[in-house]
Copies of this chain bind each other. A is one copy, B any other.
């Protein structure tokens, strides 16, 4: 076996979490799959690189500007959810629980790594409040040191504008065991306890 198959195995091993064995298995699958399946994969890889850019409104990834969520009239324009990365929009929107719009920061504040407010899409975020349609901002960065710091920073920035600023809940995940939860999660869950 030479040439093209080796090159495909090599290209696949560059993907995260794909080792030599998995790459070989995938390559042989691609070799034997129906022609249109391989064509589709090849085309999808190419198109994702050539057609995807950032939405000029929300900074999410999109192939049309503004993106499908920003132009969707059925969305609640009074609700804006701020997330750190495009994957988070996917994960949150898949739940079907949130029907507002999103804003993607493309990172979280991290002074040690030189990420300040200028490096995030905060300018673009502030511009969105000019239309006075948005009433509540849900800060949905991860409950990590940097995610919390970013939420805190945005809270200070946005509260004076007369907006309702909320933070996504953090606590013991559904199905998680109290016994095995880490201390920080447990103490957060206790602090954030609610009336039943």
Determine how close the nearest CB of chain B comes to the CB of A75; give it in whole angstroms: 14
List residues of chain B with CB within 8 A of the CB of A2.
62-64, 67-68
Q: Given A38-B46, A48-B5, A51-B3, do A61 and B30 touch, yes or no (CB 8 Å)?
A: no
Give CA–CA (A2, B87) in the complex, Å. 12
Bound Cα distance from A68 to B62, whole angstroms: 45
A163 touches B (CB below 8 Å):
no
**When the two chains form their complex, are residues B7 and A16 in contact, meaning their CB atoms are under 8 A apart?**
no
Interface majority SS on A: helix, strand, loop or mixed? helix
Most B CB atoms within 10 A — which of A22, A25, A44, A47? A44
By the criterion CB–CB under 8 Å, are A52 and B29 in contact?
A: no
Are B68 and A49 closer than 8 Å at their CB atoms?
no
- Say whether B31 contacts A61, CB under 8 Å: yes
- A30: min CB distance to chain B, Å: 6
Smallest CB gap from A86: residue in B: B1
> What are 25 A-to-B residue pairs whose CB atoms are below 8 Å?
A1-B61, A1-B86, A2-B62, A3-B51, A3-B64, A4-B48, A4-B63, A5-B63, A7-B48, A8-B44, A8-B45, A8-B47, A8-B48, A14-B33, A14-B40, A15-B30, A15-B41, A16-B26, A27-B48, A30-B48, A31-B49, A38-B46, A38-B48, A39-B46, A45-B45
Shortest 7 CB-CB distances between A and B: which pairs? A8-B44, A42-B45, A3-B63, A11-B41, A11-B44, A4-B47, A42-B46
Q: A5-B48, A14-B37 are in contact. List 14 more A-B contacts (CB 8 A).
A: A1-B86, A2-B64, A4-B51, A11-B44, A12-B41, A14-B40, A14-B41, A17-B25, A27-B48, A31-B52, A31-B61, A35-B49, A38-B45, A45-B45
